[in-house]
Structure 1
Amino acid sequence: MTARFCATVAKPGRHADGGKLYLRVDALGVARWTFMWVRGGREREAGLGSRHMVGLAQARELAGGMREMLAKGIDPLNARAAERRANAARVTFGECPDALLASKESG
């Protein structure tokens, strides 16, 4: 697969780059990168971003990171969800007005 092909392909379907990395194009021509694997008899798919936001080189890099996770026995989707939970700022409803007032205080 070449960068030019990725930028211009409009044929619907799943276009393989190798190493479980695919450029998936829907019927409307919208294309997105996906990484697919099978674990425990279950097919899994992780989105890596649209072709307009993620280039071929970056998609290959992201897929490489996911392959490393799989080699270590880590499910990439579970790891992504755990990271999101860890990074999520848990703000209660009562803390929202306090944060707003604190941000406006200097003005």
Structure 2
Amino acid sequence: MPKQIRDRLTALGVKRITAPGFHADGGGLYLRIEDGRRLWVFRFTWQTKRCWFVIGPERDIGLADAREQAR
């Protein structure tokens, strides 16, 4: 089984990202940027289906807190 890469993003790097889309931190945690909104989301598989769980807005939840909730 391939090794999962975690903690790709840094707190300063998160602030600098402006491009829309999903930006992976690893372990299923993503920063989603769309229409000016910045959300932490967690991707997981349940019964062979891909599911997304919204952790919360980036302005309220820091990178460390988002990682803790994703774990």
AA in 1 matched with 2:32: R
Determine which of 4, 8, 13 is the counterpart of 1:5: 13
**Structure 2-normalised TM-score?**
0.83
Would you tell me which structure has more helix in proportion to its own residues?
1
Would you tell me which structure has more strand in proportion to its own residues?
2
Matched residue, 1:46: 53
**Structure 1-normalised TM-score?**
0.56
Instruction: Find the structure with the greater CA-based Rg.
Output: 1
Unpaired segments of 5 or more residues in structure 1? 65-107
Contact 1:15/1:23 (CA < 8 Å) preserved in 2?
Answer: yes
Unpaired segments of 5 or more residues in structure 2? 1-8
Q: What is the number of equivalent residue pairs in this alignment? A: 63
Residue 21 (str. 1) matches residue 38 (str. 2): no
Structure with bigger RCO (C-alpha 8 Å, 6+ apart): 2
